[in-house]
């Protein structure tokens, strides 16, 4: 259940979440079955902005949505996953296998926590552990048992260590790398691609952990953390009222429901 007094409520309002979210997609792509499920079933090439928006929408709902909105969205996601299959090495698999759902969840929350802190958000170790514990709720929304999901930094580190032998660069991960560096958008938006590629696409790649960069096999920015901190400071100059107008707008509606006293702030971190 969304909680205005949680770490997640404060943290997910930070503008760096957009970079962290894209970084999580690069990380997810290193799992051969997880990335095959996306490439073989998604229309992300035909509708790049729609695919990214739907992902952000579901993440935002889990923190700022109403109970009814969350229940509806999670039921829709689980039903969609149940109907999808992928093929790797000639073998078919369901995209809702617990192993794959767990990898996607862990890639997301690990990226959110680590990228925001590299950007200067500044959670304490206790708050980081609390964040992982809170995000077990999000794991439950896609059908995982919360008790079987990493709920602390130590548990997450152990999980990622266990997964390392499974991960590798593939043809499908290369597709995702290319897509995230330059989504095939049309119209006026395409003119912003060169700036996006430098300030978002490759920056999000560059803040992956070193072992993930080694697996992807492409060079990263040498001073990625400095770029990230500069991006965050620049974004924070935009008034919060304006930032909250950005899609999907769940935070804005949550503040309208509860009142301005629930406006996210680092000062309200538990």
- Give the distance, in angstroms, between the CA of residue 146 and the centroid of all CA atoms in the same chain: 18
Query: Is pLDDT larger for residue 58 or for residue 153?
Result: 153
Instruction: Answer whether residue 21 shows pLDDT above 80.
Output: yes
CA–CA dist 59, 262 (Å, integer): 19
ω into 248 cis (within 30 of 0): yes
Closest to 98 (Cα-Cα) out of 134, 135, 40, 145: 145
The b/e string for 219-233 (b: 16+ C-beta within 10 A; e otherwise) is ebeeebeebbbebbe
How far apart are alpha carbons 29 and 238 in whole angstroms?
Answer: 32
pLDDT at 246: 61
Instruction: State how far the Cα of 253 lies from the Cα of 269, in Å rounded to an integer.
Output: 20
Place 172 in a pLDDT band, splitting at 50, 70 and 90: very high
Alpha carbons 232 and 230: distance in angstroms, whole number: 5
Asked if pLDDT for residue 231 goes beyond 80, the answer is yes
The CA-atom distances, in angstroms, between 186 and each of 18, 55, 152, 196 are 21, 20, 42, 14
Is 215's pLDDT higher than 90?
Answer: yes
What residues have CB less than 8 Å from 66, skipping those under 6 apart?
2, 257
Place of tokens 């001073």: 223
Average pLDDT over residues 240-261: 79
The Cα-based distances of 190 to 9, 182, 197, 201, 227 in angstroms read: 33, 9, 11, 14, 23
Farthest-apart Cα atoms in the chain, separation: 55
Q: pLDDT by residue (tens digit) across 72-110?
A: 999 999 998 888 899 998 899 999 999 999 999 999 999
Write the pLDDT tens digit of every residue in 43-75: 666 666 666 777 888 899 999 999 999 999 999
> Residue 263's CB: how many other CB atoms inside 10 A?
18
CA angle (14 as vertex; 9, 18 as ends), nearest 5: 115
Tokens of 193: 């691609």
């Amino acid at each position: 259940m969304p909680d205005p007094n949680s770490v997640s409520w404060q943290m997910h309002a930070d503008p760096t979440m957009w970079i962290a979210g894209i970084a999580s997609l690069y990380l997810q792509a290193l799992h051969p079955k997880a990335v095959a499920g996306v490439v073989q079933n998604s229309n992300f090439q035909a509708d790049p902005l729609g695919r990214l928006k739907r992902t952000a929408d579901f993440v935002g709902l889990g923190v700022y949505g109403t109970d009814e909105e969350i229940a509806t969205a999670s039921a829709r996601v689980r039903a969609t996953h149940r109907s999808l299959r992928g093929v790797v090495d000639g073998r078919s698999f369901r995209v809702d296998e617990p192993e794959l759902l767990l990898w996607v969840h862990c890639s997301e929350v690990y990226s959110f926590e680590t990228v925001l802190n590299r950007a200067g958000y500044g959670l304490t170790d206790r708050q980081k552990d609390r964040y992982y514990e809170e995000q077990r709720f999000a794991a439950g929304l896609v059908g995982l048992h919360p008790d079987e999901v990493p709920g602390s930094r130590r548990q997450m580190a152990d999980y990622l260590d266990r997964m390392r032998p499974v991960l590798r660069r593939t043809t499908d991960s290369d597709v995702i790398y290319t897509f995230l560096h330059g989504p095939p958008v049309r119209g006026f938006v395409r003119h912003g691609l060169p700036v996006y590629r430098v300030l978002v696409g490759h920056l999000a790649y560059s803040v992956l952990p070193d072992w993930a960069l080694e697996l992807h096999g492409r060079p990263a920015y040498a001073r990625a953390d400095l770029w990230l901190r500069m991006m965050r400071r620049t974004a924070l100059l935009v008034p919060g009222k304006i930032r909250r107008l950005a899609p999907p707008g769940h935070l804005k509606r949550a503040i309208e429901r509860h009142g301005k006293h629930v406006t996210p702030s680092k000062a309200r971190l538990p």
